[in-house]
Amino acid sequence: MGKPTHDVEYEQMLLSRYGQLHHRRGRRADGALERSAYILLSRIRIQGPMSIGELSDAFGLDASTLNRQTAAAMRAGLVERIPDPDGGMARKFRITDEGARTLDAEREGLVASLDEILADWSAEDVAAFASYLRRFNTDIERRHGRPWPRP
């Protein structure tokens, strides 16, 4: 393939394909979340209530895209609009109890899939893989100026 970065690009493309297999469009009959809702809920849960402007800054997306995503999440009962807890003018989105339950169930399903895929790996190999992914993601975040909060 050429340079090692060509191999990384190709494998990253395949990895993103795997993610698409688990996050179909819309909420499926089995309750699974679409990928954008999964990421949106994950960010709001870890950071707390966020306005459209804050979400736009966090994701690097325009407000119209986030308005569509948050409207769909509201219709599904996954988030709700609340007054800014800090007294600001902009209303914020907060994850609902249903949103938290749905996010937890989705995450558990994804972890169970990963447990199956990585069943033959040593604990050290899984930890090393997680460490490389974290390093890769934090380097991307640093380069784009959009760090993702981690627990």
What's the rounded mean pLDDT across residues 86-103? 93
Structure tokens at 69: 């995503």
22 pLDDT more than 60: no
Task: Look at residue 61 in the predicted model and tell me its pLDDT.
Answer: 93
Q: Residue 132: how many CB atoms within 10 A of its CB? A: 10
DSSP for 75-94? Answer: HTTSEEEE--TT--SS-EEE
Confidence band (pLDDT; 50, 70, 90) for 42? very high
The phi, psi pair for 79, rounded to 5°, reads -135, 160
Residue 19, pLDDT score:
65
Specify the DSSP element, H or E, that contains 130: helix 123-144
For 50, which DSSP code?
Answer: B
Residue with token string 């990928």: 35
